């Protein structure tokens, strides 16, 4: 395919309720969508960077800038392209994995649409539907948390993940266990809020039979995670620390994690995410698909990825209604705790014109 140009579309999606984590509270999800136009058709990519560099060094204005001035011109200079050579063609630019991943996603969608193949089939999916978990933000009170968890279990979610931080950890977990019992799949996510000095405190979570504790320490503290894993019995899962198959291999070798959360945007795209999946399968390490409050475009791609055989734990591939009253695609709806894997060409979904226009903040055409 020959690149014609890329439309950068900034959107703002109101959340159905505030979503609080250890690094802040979101009421609106701002996102950058990429419409990748080629001589054989077009495809959509979604950049999952946040408005501010609080989850990762990347942020939306920076992603737009590096796409505009470096990544898109670099691909335009290559000539005819296939999706699998996008990452090598951009490798000389350091970092910016979320921006690169969005561009690769757009090429993948365009390429697969042109040939009538689905992303799920291309990645190697083996399931036609995937079990879904839900991420529950930090609440103002334990009763409020219990009401929220009760509602998600009534909806049929297969797993509950509680966001935690110092001062909101042991007691909320105990309350959920006491209220809903030991059969609920329950895990916690710290988003780097602790240090190794908190190991004895985090060990107080061990009696609650959690599936895992996700990213308790700083993303660069891989050795600290290895030390922590020897001091607690709850399995340690890495999220922010995993930026590539190479970093995943190092973390596994060091004993820093027993489980890996794969977020395609964080690792540079769905092809690198598949490589991490393959690596983890080879080492007997379970993986699951994380979420970044994606629109239906990113959700469709995540569901396709989560249908690979190594994704043995429910991911954060929640229904559209978990975050958005109105999505920009046909909504993903929970059915018996699962979401259907799209089977149409490319992502298998497309933006709805009116819904997309309603949330669009700005558009910019970047010619090749």
Q: State the pairing for strand pair 213-214/236-238.
A: parallel
Q: Is the distance from CB of 28 to CB of 50 less than 8 angstroms?
A: no
Residue 79 CA neighbour count, 13 Å, CB half: 0
Write b or e for each residue in 96-109: b if 16 or more Cβ atoms lie within 10 A of its Cβ, otherwise e. Answer: bbbbbbbbbbbbbb
Closest to 260 measured CA to CA, from 269, 278, 268: 278
Q: Rounded to whole angstroms, how far apart are CA atoms 243 and 224?
A: 17
Q: Which two tokens stand for residue 43?
A: 């495809």
Q: Which of 359, 329, 326 is nearest to 344 (CA)?
A: 329
Pairing of strands 186-189, 338-340: unpaired
Residue of 88, 60, 64 lying closest to 75 (CA atoms): 88
How far apart (Å, rounded) are the C-alpha atoms in residues 322 and 295?
11
Annotated active-site positions, please? 163, 263
Find tokens 């405190």 and name the residue: 201
Determine the distance from the C-alpha atom of residue 88 to the mean position of all C-alpha atoms in its chain, rounded to a whole number.
Answer: 22
């Amino acid at each position: 395919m020959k690149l014609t140009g890329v439309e950068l579309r900034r959107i703002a999606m109101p959340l159905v309720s505030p979503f609080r984590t250890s690094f802040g509270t979101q009421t609106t999800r701002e996102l950058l969508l990429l419409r990748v136009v080629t001589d054989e058709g077009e495809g959509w990519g979604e950049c999952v960077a946040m408005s501010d560099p609080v989850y990762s060094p990347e942020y939306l204005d920076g992603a737009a800038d590096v796409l505009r001035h470096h990544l898109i011109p670099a691909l335009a200079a290559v000539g005819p392209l296939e999706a699998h050579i996008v990452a090598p063609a951009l490798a000389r630019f350091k970092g910016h994995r979320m921006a690169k991943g969005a561009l690769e996603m757009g090429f993948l969608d365009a390429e697969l649409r042109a040939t009538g193949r689905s992303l799920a089939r291309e990645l190697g999916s083996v399931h036609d539907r995937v079990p879904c978990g839900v991420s529950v933000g930090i609440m103002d009170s334990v009763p409020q948390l219990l009401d929220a968890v009760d509602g998600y279990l009534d909806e049929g979610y297969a797993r509950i993940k509680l966001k935690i931080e110092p001062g909101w950890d042991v007691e909320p977990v105990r309350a959920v266990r006491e209220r809903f019992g030991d059969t609920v799949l329950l895990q916690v996510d710290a988003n780097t809020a602790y240090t190794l000095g908190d190991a004895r405190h985090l060990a107080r979570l061990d009696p609650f039979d959690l599936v895992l504790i996700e990213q308790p320490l700083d993303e660069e503290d891989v050795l600290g995670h290895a030390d922590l894993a020897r001091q607690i019995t709850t399995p340690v899962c890495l999220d922010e620390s995993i930026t590539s198959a190479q970093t995943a291999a190092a973390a596994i070798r060091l004993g820093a994690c027993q489980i890996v959360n794969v977020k395609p945007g964080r690792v540079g795209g769905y092809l690198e995410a598949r490589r991490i999946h393959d690596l983890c399968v080879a080492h007997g390490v379970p993986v699951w698909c994380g979420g970044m409050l994606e629109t239906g475009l990113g959700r469709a791609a995540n569901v396709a990825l989560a249908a690979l055989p190594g994704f043995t734990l429910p991911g954060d591939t929640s229904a559209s209604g978990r975050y958005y009253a109105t999505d920009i695609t046909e909504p993903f709806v929970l059915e018996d705790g699962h979401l259907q894997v799209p089977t149409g060409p490319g992502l298998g979904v497309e933006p709805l014109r009116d819904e997309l226009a309603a949330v669009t903040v700005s558009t910019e055409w970047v010619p090749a």
